[in-house]
Amino acid sequence: MKRLAAAAALGLFVSACNGSSSPPPSNPPGPSADPCAAAALEENTGIAAAPPTDAATLARKTNILDGNPRWRVLDALWTHRAAEVTAQSVGAAPPESSDRAQPRNRRRPPTALGTRPLGPSRDTVDVGEIAVVQDEGDLVLPPNTYDLRSVGLRFTRNAAGGYDVLRIDGAFRSALGTRQVLTDDDSVSSTVPFGFSFYGAVQTTAFVNSDGNITFGEADRSSTERNIPRLLTGPPRVSPFLSDLDPTTGNGRVFLNAASDQYTVTWCNVRAFESSQTTSVQATLLPGGVIEMKFGATVTVPDAIVGLSPGRTGIFTPVNLSEPGPTGGGAAAVGERFAQQAQLDLVELARKFYRTHPDSYDQLVIWTDAPLITDAFAYETTIANEVRGLGIDTFDLSSDFGSAGRLRSLVVMDWLGKYPESPTQRFLGENTTLSVLGQETGHRWLAFVEILDHTRERTDVLLGRDIAHWSFFFDSDASVMEGNDIEDLGGGSFRTVGAVQRYSLLDQYAMGLVPESAVPPFFYVENPTNMSATRTRESAPQVGVRFNGTRRDVLIQDVVAVHGPRSPGSDASSKLHRQAFIYLASAGRSADSGQISKLDGIRRAWEGFFAQATSNRMQAVTALRP
């Protein structure tokens, strides 16, 4: 991934509405009859069937402990700002004027950092060393139900350099063009017959992606989450329906009509991955730089992102596409995320916590009294990073979450009830509650590094799932960041003998606990074959898997050659990691004493596990009171 410009990553900019005029499209839509209905009845004559989803892809997409933590902070900020847009649309006060529009809480006045605490006394919200935060309808947001059926949208350039959006007729263009054979997570490139101006850059080649979007500059075949960070930090994108779609099943079809006066892509009756739910949407690029989107009457896929992005940006404007418009879209990305599940507003939760607690924590660890996550088991969100040499950018968005600069990360462990009573009980593959917490805590620093391989080429071969966990075939010394402890049996034979037990010395280097000189050589297995159980680099750790392959040794210098030395080094890095354990009580509920007791047991066991996992080089302090 190309890196975001630092200035763009440091905040959100929300533009005022900017009207702009543009000529009507040169070729209006055809008859209102749904061309996708007819396409679904056509036989596949002369069309080679797309191959079914391969086993490796299926395993990668269904092996979900957590997702890709890179830039997940943008997802949290989008959720909070979109909630503000919704509140404003129902009569709340308009936002304050600001060049750097930090999301403000319309549901209660923003807290001045120098005047905390303003809320209840800490004794009323803390139960021992557990901070109880009460949802009052301000933290768990209702679903944003998809409501664009039979609707059309027109995006036109505005004076700020972005796009404004207007509701138009929803009739599809009747000429669908040529069918494109796409597999799951696939892409095909084609020439745009005219120079299409997108955010000021003229595009002559476009990539039609199976997941309901068009990109410029590069294809998007990734199997990672179809989320806000992907919209913002990926390539420039026109997204009529960014979602996990699979054109290989059912009657799904993707068509392209590339003509001198239009470039139209239509996704007809395309199913969501591993689902019978379908979507039919159409996107048209016009020579004047205008973009039109049309949405079918029978869309049943509930989760999608609709909008535009210039790519490689942290600047965005969430809007309500149900408004007739014109709606100002700001200077960069614009759109709306639809979700059938309730959303947790992490920004507001952190701010609410800081109204009653000091800014003394490196990480907030959040547990809930009801399931809130549907696309992962748990996850981590890095909100600030000052460390170089880790393979991630340096940035600081902590102020948006109510911190004056100490907070670095939030961990969402989700519903406490899905974890065993004993924190050391195995229940999720090789994992325990403590190892899951170890992985999410570790994402503050890990695992993102690339290396120079034996040919001196840069590679991400050490990495597995989402390029943010260790590869199954990397001898990670049983790291909680995945990979395995791999025993070399000789003669090109290997066996996994341990998993999710500790932070390896490579991990500890990234965490600032040991210098380069303390990291011994490590290895990965290249071209694994003859596996006793089929595995890919993205697979979850598992003990007892045998395979053959070529051993490749790696030195810490091969990491430093790519990313530079860790800065600050181990001699100047903190060996104390302060965490606050937070229990979120749902609206209308009080904290259950039995669950609080269970969580306190996890908290106390975690401190010992973390010390052991870091070879006693770092201490996790979870007491709320210093």
Chain segment 119-164, per-residue pLDDT in tens: 565 555 899 999 999 999 999 999 999 999 999 999 999 999 999 9
Sign of CA dihedral 233, 3, 365, 13: negative
Q: What is the mean pLDDT of the chain?
A: 89
Average pLDDT, integer, range 314-336: 96
What whole-number distance in Å separates Cα of residue 359 and Cα of residue 126?
16
| Residue 14's pLDDT band (cuts 50, 70, 90) | very low
Q: Give the pair of three-digit tokens for residue 317.
A: 């404007």
Q: Is the pLDDT of residue 548 over 50?
A: yes
Cβ partners under 8 Å of residue 83, min gap 6:
141, 345, 348
pTM of this structure? 0.88
Cα→Cα distances 163→15, 153, 215, 317, 567, Å: 10, 12, 17, 10, 40
Q: Is the pLDDT of residue 221 over 90?
A: yes
Q: Decide: 527 and 550 in contact? Cβ < 8 Å.
A: yes
DSSP classification of residue 103? -
> What pLDDT does residue 87 have?
86
What whole-number distance in Å separates Cα of residue 364 and Cα of residue 353?
9
Q: Decide: 53 and 194 in contact? Cβ < 8 Å.
A: no
3-class secondary structure, 438: helix
Greatest distance between any 2 Cα atoms in the chain: 72
Which residue, 195, 236, 233, is CA-closest to 214? 236
Tell me if the bond preceding 117 is cis, omega within 30° of 0.
Answer: yes
Average pLDDT, integer, range 205-234: 95
| Residue 58's pLDDT band (cuts 50, 70, 90) | low
Antiparallel, parallel or unpaired: β 278-285 and 262-272 = antiparallel
Tell me if the bond preceding 568 is cis, omega within 30° of 0.
Answer: yes
Residues in the chain: 626
Q: What is the pLDDT of residues 607-624, one digit of tens each?
A: 999 999 999 999 999 999
> What pLDDT does residue 44 have?
55
Q: Give the pair of three-digit tokens for residue 105.
A: 């809480």
Cβ partners under 8 Å of residue 594, min gap 6:
none
> What pLDDT does residue 479 have?
98
Cα→Cα distances 272→40, 63, 302, 303, 534, Å: 16, 17, 9, 9, 26
Cα→Cα distances 568→388, 390, 488, 517, 574, Å: 7, 11, 34, 15, 10
Q: Is the pLDDT of residue 388 over 80?
A: yes
Which residue, 432, 363, 418, 397, is CA-closest to 131? 363
Phi, psi of 305 (to 5 degrees): -115, 125
Burial class (CB in 10 A: 0-12, 13-18, 19+), 384: buried
Give me the helix-helix angle, 593-613 and 433-442, nearest 10°.
60
Q: Is the pLDDT of residue 483 over 50?
A: yes
DSSP classification of residue 518? G
| Residue 458's pLDDT band (cuts 50, 70, 90) | very high
| Residue 484's pLDDT band (cuts 50, 70, 90) | very high
* Cβ atoms within 10 Å of 512's Cβ, excluding its own: 23
> What pLDDT does residue 223 have?
85
Q: What is the pLDDT of residues 257-297, one digit of tens each?
A: 999 999 999 999 999 999 999 999 999 999 999 999 999 99
Element (H, E) at 240: strand 237-242
Cβ partners under 8 Å of residue 368, min gap 6:
344, 413, 414, 415, 416, 583, 584, 586
Sign of CA dihedral 336, 342, 347, 351: positive
Q: What is the pLDDT of residues 560-581, one digit of tens each?
A: 999 999 999 999 999 999 999 9
